[in-house]
Amino acid sequence: MDLIPERVLVITPHPDDAEAWAGGAISRWARAGAEVHCVLCTDGSKGSDDPEVDPAELAATRSREQIAAAEILGVANVVMLGHPDGELEDTADFRKDLVRQIRTVKPDVVLTSEPYRRNMQWHRDHRIAGQVALDAVFPYARDHLHFGDLFANEGIEPHKTANIMFWGSENPNAFVDISNEFDTKLDALMAHASQARRRTREVMQAFLRSRAQEAARAASAHPVEPVPGLTLAEAFRRVTFRT
């Protein structure tokens, strides 16, 4: 995919989701000059299998890790909404939070989690974050009568986003070459050191490489717009809106 956006808004359910699924694309676009912003929806406070862990301390640790990972990828800033891990809900307040960020950043592309994945395990927070992000892009951030107080009180004008891209889709139609970004993607993911007891660098390198190779094969075999010649890729479902 040749798209190099000017501004990108990444809406990620948990710390490390964006790095695992889209770190290569984020790094590629940032390196090409895109202004990349990130919204972290939850605090990551449930991301441990240690029964002795303190959730508040874990949340603070994972916030620091997210900032470090974002710096590795070239992300300009991270906004942390702080919803409890595992407790995202499709509410007007959550939708408004995302609309505020979309209208503030004014992205060409919103990058987020696939809400409609059905045939594999998919965290509830992933589904809800993707669905609310989709709704926030269209129509809520676009139409001035939705959350009109954002303009009246904060001076934030509506914005029409051209594209939303979902990672983790079972039906991808857009592929990003990450051959030159793979090591950066891995470095960013490993910045989430609190998760290292679940995954060593060697294990994650093998896992991510396998998934990137699978995405490259899917790109080559795509029935409508095949992309031959890729060795490592990330796969997305891209939806384009009329602007």
pLDDT in tens, 81-128: 999 999 999 999 999 999 999 999 999 999 999 999 876 678 999 999
pLDDT tens track for 118-165 = 766 789 999 999 999 999 999 999 999 999 999 889 999 999 999 999
Q: For 157, which DSSP code? A: P
Residues 6+ apart with CB under 8 A from 52: none
pLDDT at 243: 65
The answer to whether residues 186 and 212 touch, using CB atoms and an 8 Å cutoff, is no
The answer to whether residues 57 and 210 touch, using CB atoms and an 8 Å cutoff, is no
The arithmetic mean of pLDDT across residues 155-176, rounded, is 96
Distance of CA 5 to the CA centre of its chain: 15
Closest CA relative to residue 25, chosen from 68, 59, 74, 88: 74
Whole-number mean pLDDT of the chain?
Answer: 94
pLDDT at 193 > cutoff 80: yes
Q: Give pairs for 142-147: CB < 8 Å, separation 24+.
A: 146/99, 147/96, 147/99, 147/100
**Directed axis angle between helix 55-73 and helix 182-190, to 10°?**
160
Domain boundary assignment for the chain: 7-240
**Directed axis angle between helix 92-105 and helix 124-135, to 10°?**
60
pLDDT tens track for 198-225 = 678 999 999 999 999 999 999 999 988 8
pLDDT at 211: 97
Of 3.40.50.10320, 3.40.50.720, 3.20.20.10, 3.65.10.10, which CATH number belongs to 7-240? 3.40.50.10320
Helix %, strand %, coil % for the chain, to 5? 45, 20, 40
Q: Which helix (H) or strand (E) holds 29?
A: helix 17-31
The answer to whether residues 15 and 44 touch, using CB atoms and an 8 Å cutoff, is yes
The answer to whether residues 192 and 18 touch, using CB atoms and an 8 Å cutoff, is no
Say what percent of the chain tops pLDDT 70.
98
